[in-house]
């Protein structure tokens, strides 16, 4: 099964997910079918389990080895094992080949059901208790046809397996020389959001962080109202918006579209900071008017682009 590439209009707050499942063995020996999902935009293709070659000295036991797919060597991760579960394997096991953060990784699962087109409004963020219990590996919950589908934070999994892919800021740069600025940041991943907030603060930004686009938009509406009441420009309160694309309730593309269509807010630079910034998907950000699009984990580039956009407007 290959990616369908069903076209979605940018900024409509829709997404497509590939629903897959894991046959998980319980402690009593019984089998449980757990349902999970991943954004179609991250999926290159879905294949049968290939011949896998072991890798020497892997960091995590979930990395089963690597395989050759059209002259590209791709690491294979046993997703159930990474989640701390025991997968019941059989010949029908499937492999989901993904690409994000400019990295190709394959995940072994029990099977794939179908592709669903849904609104981000249907995706519920996990509550604090569920997030804690799952070590922040779930970014969203979808209730569909009598079952619960968990959207996994694949970025966190890849970062855990490859620590050098984590967010890093070049602290050799003199970030304090250009003055301090205010930014609104939206990212649904708890780990990424906190790291990004900390790093942007080191880059001399005051940061207000939100878990999804809707909360960020409501904050911008408050700022717009306050600016109007005090007869000041919006940039007196915030100078840029940094947003992930994939988020429950409202995604980054829809957030950007709203900002750029609002007469009072449209001058704000919007920087999309996402694992989905690729040559194939960059046009979606262009359609909604994003000022910059930076692929994770390039935080240094993100901070430099944000400062450049602010300076170009004469707000520094």
180/151 same-domain check: no
64/121 same-domain check: yes
25/155 same-domain check: yes
Low-confidence ranges of the chain (pLDDT < 70): 1-8, 87, 133, 135
Q: What is the predicted pLDDT for the residue at 176?
A: 79
- Which of 145, 163, 181 is the C-terminal boundary of a domain? 163
217/294 same-domain check: yes
83/120 same-domain check: yes
Q: What is the predicted pLDDT for the residue at 8?
A: 61
Helix (H, G, I), strand (E, B) or coil at 128: helix
- Which of 121, 144, 163 is the C-terminal boundary of a domain? 163
109/206 same-domain check: no
For residue 2, tell me if it sits in a domain.
Answer: no
Show contacts of 143-148: CB within 8 Å, 24+ apart.
144/19, 144/116, 144/118, 147/35, 148/35
150/202 same-domain check: no
Q: What is the predicted pLDDT for the residue at 66?
A: 95
Q: What is the predicted pLDDT for the residue at 261?
A: 97
90/158 same-domain check: yes
**pTM, full prediction:** 0.85
For residue 29, tell me if it sits in a domain.
Answer: yes
Question: In the sheet that 31-39 helps form, which strands lie side by side, from edge to edge?
Answer: 111-119, 14-25, 31-39, 147-152, 138-144
Q: What is the predicted pLDDT for the residue at 1?
A: 43
149/53 same-domain check: yes
Q: What is the predicted pLDDT for the residue at 92?
A: 83
For residue 3, tell me if it sits in a domain.
Answer: no
Helix (H, G, I), strand (E, B) or coil at 50: coil
What backbone phi and psi angles, to 5 degrees, belong to 120?
A: -60, -20
**CATH assignment at residue 130:** 2.40.50.180
User: For every residue of 240-290, which 3-state class applies, written as one string?
Assistant: EEEECCCCCCCCHHHHHHHHHHCCCCCCCCEEEEECCCCCCCHHHHHHCCC
Structural domain span for residue 43: 14-163
Based on the structure, what is the number of domains in the chain? Answer: 2
Using the CB atoms, write b or e for 275-306: b if 16+ within 10 Å.
bbbbeebeebbeebbbbbbbbbbbbbebbbbb
181/255 same-domain check: yes
């Amino acid at each position: 099964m290959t990616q369908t590439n069903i076209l979605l209009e940018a900024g409509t707050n829709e997404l497509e997910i590939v629903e897959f499942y894991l046959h998980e063995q319980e402690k009593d020996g019984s089998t449980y079918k757990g349902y999970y999902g991943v954004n179609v935009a991250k999926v290159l293709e879905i294949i049968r389990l290939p011949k896998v070659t072991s890798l020497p000295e892997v960091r995590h036991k979930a990395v089963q080895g690597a395989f050759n797919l059209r002259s590209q060597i791709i690491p294979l991760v046993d997703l159930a094992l990474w989640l701390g579960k025991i997968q019941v394997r059989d010949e029908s096991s499937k492999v989901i080949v993904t690409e994000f953060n400019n990295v190709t990784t394959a995940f072994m699962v029990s099977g794939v059901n179908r592709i669903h087109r849904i609104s981000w409004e249907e995706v519920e963020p996990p509550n604090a208790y569920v997030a804690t219990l799952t070590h922040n590996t779930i970014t969203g919950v979808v209730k569909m046809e009598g079952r619960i589908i968990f959207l996994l934070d694949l970025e966190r999994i890849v970062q855990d397996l490859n620590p050098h892919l984590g967010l890093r800021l070049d602290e050799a740069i003199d970030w304090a020389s250009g003055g301090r600025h205010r930014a609104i940041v939206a990212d649904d991943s708890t780990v990424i959001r906190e790291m990004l907030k900390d790093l942007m603060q080191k880059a001399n930004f005051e940061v207000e962080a939100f878990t999804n686009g809707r909360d960020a938009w409501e904050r911008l509406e408050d700022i717009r109202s306050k600016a109007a009441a005090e007869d000041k420009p919006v940039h007196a309160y915030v100078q840029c918006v940094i947003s992930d694309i994939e988020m429950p309730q409202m995604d980054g593309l829809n957030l950007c579209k709203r900002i750029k269509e609002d007469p009072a807010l449209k001058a704000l630079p919007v920087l999309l900071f996402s694992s989905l910034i690729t040559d194939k998907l960059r046009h979606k950000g262009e359609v909604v008017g994003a000022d910059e699009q930076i692929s994770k984990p390039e935080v240094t580039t993100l901070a430099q682009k944000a400062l450049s956009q602010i300076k170009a407007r004469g707000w520094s």
